[in-house]
Chains A and B, each alone.
Chain A
Amino acid sequence: MITTGTHHLDAHSLRLSQITKTYGDKTVLHSIDLDVKPGEFVSLLGPSGCGKSTALKIIGGFEAATSGTVQIGGADMTRIKAKDRGTGIVFQQYSLFPHLTAGQNIEFGLKVKRMPKSERRSRVEELLAMVGLEEHGGKYPHQLSGGQQQRVALARALAVEPRILLLDEPLSALDAKVRERLREEIVRIHRDRGTTTIMVTHDQEEALAMADRVAVMNAGRIAQFDTPHAIYSAPEPEFVADFIGVMNRLTPEQVTETSVRLLGEVLPRAAVTLAIDGDVLIRPEDLEISAQTDGGGLITDLTLRGGFTSVNVLLHDLEHHVRVDMPTGTAAALRTGDRVRVSPSLRMAADQSRVNAQAGIRPDSDAAEDRRGAIA
């Protein structure tokens, strides 16, 4: 078993301070701060052009930041060349050396390190086993499937025992089934080896499922950096709330210091996410429907999504649509045109206050302002 130097945990931390990157007069990164703990799996998530890939390139040393510093294990790496940074990287695709076999690809970094041949061989065997490709060590990249190539790329990057593993949309080029399997595998390998990992992705499901913490980026800034659970249930209201999952926007009837009245129900103030304009942001699964002939809502659409069904309801003001997600079994009784009453689920209030208590954050907009950027 390879040990990743657990006694030197601090050497595996990463800190970006005020990283700014400009191309000509276009600023791609606006003074980014990011603090990654040793062994942590952090995902940089955002729409294309948000600067996440540039941030990764700057961490890896493939591009220089215009200003700001990159620290790995407490040491300033801003001016250090990529080859001396101790970062391993897996690209989206086609990064294996085409003239070398899978085994030789994994061996490449070890050869550069001048590791003795016998040691090299056993290391390659071990890494091939780690990614489940024992029998394919002698095959060339073009003889391997996309998923297998990415496994080899992962093994190759981990062979040199990098202090930070960088994953640049490693699953984007794969088809759905393979993607899911490799996703689990990456998480398993990360759990086993504990290598500090930064993954860039535009796929929110991927980021939420894999990472310990997610940095949601927008327009060159980190909008929110938090655990997947907190990102989902207490999103930063300006950008993240719209970007992650589906959010209903509803105008509350009344907002006080301690409570919010929404759709006729009084909810604790701390349990709801309020947008800047005062709207309440609420997830489709946090709403409930009850059939009621005199209810103010009208079902306009039912969409089966597998385990759950989305119900579109036109509210009594005849202006606002809300989406309510409910178990498909329960939704079977509903028909388009039914009159219903929509209300926040009681579960929601309880759940949300618990989450917030755990994360130690208040989901009101002031706190969200504070959260933007880094959380040490």
Chain B
Amino acid sequence: MRLRRLAPQLVLAVYLIGAVAPLVAVGVFGFVNQRDGFTIEPLLALLSEDSAIQPILNSVLLTVLTVVVGYAIVIPSLLWMHLRTPRLLGAAETASLLPYVIPAIALVGGVNLVLRPLFPGFFVNVLSLVPFYIIITLPFMFRTIDSGLRSLDLHTLMRAGESLGSGALRNFFTVILPNLWSAIVSGSLLVVMMASGELVMAQLMLHKTFPTMLIELGQSQVRLAAALSFITILGSWVLMALMVVLGRGRNATARVSQFSI
């Protein structure tokens, strides 16, 4: 009896030790040193250097572009398929899952062999990573938007809009898009996580992003890398919480599409 009552607490304790303790340890290791005790000096020093700011900005830019361009491609094409060619949806879903089975390293290897010689200038630019990030985040964008669209009676909504004098474009922006908001938010949470944390492709394509910087720092200034990791983890939690709150919209798709991966 007693054991049964204690079991939940036990599980919680194990979780705290297993998951939170390492995190706290990283934080302590990162921000405390023998000489100064708790300090954020090294971090501030790092952030005042251009060589650190650039990778961070690169990561932010890449993430934003991945989300914006990705959804700008995925939403209209999925809407089109739902309305006009629903038979293609099955094939499209299979295609959207391909990134899962193609390892990043194979993708980059192929690109380096085939595409880089053709467009050498393009791959020098850090933004050349955007198409790759869109490919690897495609499954998340596809599934969230797909389930968002499925929860709507698209034909009826489009026709209702039309009968009220609204054209296709206006219907898209004032009827369909607002109803996909929560699907977009919950999907972009995952896209943001993946795009901002992607290492392999950036590293192999020789671009400097936040994750590659973290790896570099880890080889020379271990404490600094730990401090940055700690901040990143907390930051992503805050981001996650924020998006959950944002996505808890009042519209009908909210309950359906939130985290329905």
Residues of chain A within 8 A of B170, CB atoms compared: 112
Q: A153 to B161, alpha carbons, bound, how many Å?
A: 12
Does any Cβ of A come within 8 Å of B166's Cβ? Answer: yes
Q: A140 to B251, alpha carbons, bound, how many Å?
A: 8
Residues of chain B within 8 A of A153, CB atoms compared: 160
Q: A124 to B16, alpha carbons, bound, how many Å?
A: 56
**Of A79-87, A184-192, A364-372, the one touching chain B:** A79-87
Q: A97-B175, A99-B250 are in contact. Are A157 and B165 (CB under 8 A)?
A: no
Query: Does B160 lie within 8 Å of A91, measured CB to CB?
Result: yes
**Of B7-15, B67-75, B130-138, B151-159, the one touching chain A:** B151-159
Q: A108 to B165, alpha carbons, bound, how many Å?
A: 9
Which of B157, B164, B253 is close to A156, meaning CB atoms less than 8 Å apart?
B164
Does any Cβ of B come within 8 Å of A237's Cβ? Answer: no
Does any Cβ of B come within 8 Å of A109's Cβ? Answer: yes
- Number of contact residues on B: which range applies? 20 to 34
Minimum CB–CB distance for A179 against chain B, Å: 20
Does any Cβ of A come within 8 Å of B163's Cβ? Answer: yes
Q: A157 to B162, alpha carbons, bound, how many Å?
A: 11
Which residue from chain B places its CB closest to the CB of A156 in the assembled complex?
B164
The 0/1 profile, CB within 8 Å of A marked 1, for residues 38-59 of chain B is 0000000000000000000000
Which of B161, B163, B181 has most chain A Cβ within 10 Å? B163
Does any Cβ of B come within 8 Å of A297's Cβ? Answer: no
Does any Cβ of A come within 8 Å of B167's Cβ? Answer: yes
- Residue count of chain A within 8 Å CB distance of chain B: 32
Residues of chain A within 8 A of B175, CB atoms compared: 97
Does any Cβ of A come within 8 Å of B231's Cβ? Answer: no
Q: A97-B175, A142-B252 are in contact. Are A113 and B165 (CB under 8 A)?
A: yes
Residues of chain B within 8 A of A83, CB atoms compared: 162-167
Minimum CB–CB distance for A35 against chain B, Å: 22
Does any Cβ of B come within 8 Å of A141's Cβ? Answer: yes
Query: Does A98 lie within 8 Å of B164, measured CB to CB?
Result: no
Does any Cβ of A come within 8 Å of B178's Cβ? Answer: yes
Does any Cβ of A come within 8 Å of B179's Cβ? Answer: yes
Residues of chain A within 8 A of B160, CB atoms compared: 89, 91, 95-97, 153, 156
Which residue from chain B places its CB closest to the CB of A143 in the assembled complex?
B250
Which residue from chain B places its CB closest to the CB of A159 in the assembled complex?
B164
Query: Does B162 lie within 8 Å of A98, measured CB to CB?
Result: no
Q: A99 to B184, alpha carbons, bound, how many Å?
A: 15
Minimum CB–CB distance for B173 against chain A, Å: 12
Contacting residues of chain B (140-193) with chain A, CB-CB under 8 angstroms: 152-153, 156-157, 159-167, 170, 174-175, 178-179, 181
Q: What is the count of residue pairs linking A and B with beta-carbon distances less than 8 angstroms? A: 78
Query: Does A88 lie within 8 Å of B163, measured CB to CB?
Result: yes
Q: A299 to B179, alpha carbons, bound, how many Å?
A: 61
Q: A112-B170, A140-B250, A141-B252 are in contact. Are A97 and B162 (CB under 8 A)?
A: no
Does any Cβ of B come within 8 Å of A239's Cβ? Answer: no
Which of B162, B178, B179, B252 is close to A82, meaning CB atoms less than 8 Å apart?
B162
Q: A85 to B179, alpha carbons, bound, how many Å?
A: 26
Query: Does B164 lie within 8 Å of A108, measured CB to CB?
Result: yes
Query: Does A98 lie within 8 Å of B252, measured CB to CB?
Result: yes
Q: A112-B170, A113-B165 are in contact. Are A62 and B152 (CB under 8 A)?
A: no
Q: A140-B250, A141-B252, A142-B252 are in contact. Are A95 and B157 (CB under 8 A)?
A: yes
Residues of chain B within 8 A of A207, CB atoms compared: none
Query: Does A60 lie within 8 Å of B159, measured CB to CB?
Result: yes
Residues of chain A within 8 A of B174, CB atoms compared: 108
Q: A91-B156, A112-B170 are in contact. Are A98 and B163 (CB under 8 A)?
A: no
Query: Does A98 lie within 8 Å of B152, measured CB to CB?
Result: yes
The 0/1 profile, CB within 8 Å of B marked 1, for residues 130-159 of chain A is 000000000011100000000001001101
Which 9 pairs of residues, A with B, have the shortest CB-CB distance?
A109-B164, A98-B252, A82-B162, A99-B251, A112-B165, A99-B178, A89-B163, A94-B153, A95-B160
User: Which A residues are closer than 8 A to B by beta carbons?
Assistant: 60-62, 81-85, 87-89, 91, 94-99, 108-109, 112-113, 140-142, 153, 156-157, 159-160, 162, 166
16 additional A-B pairs beyond A91-B156, A98-B253, A109-B165, beta carbons within 8 Å, are: A60-B159, A81-B167, A83-B164, A88-B163, A88-B164, A89-B160, A91-B159, A94-B156, A95-B156, A95-B157, A95-B159, A98-B179, A98-B251, A99-B251, A141-B252, A160-B164
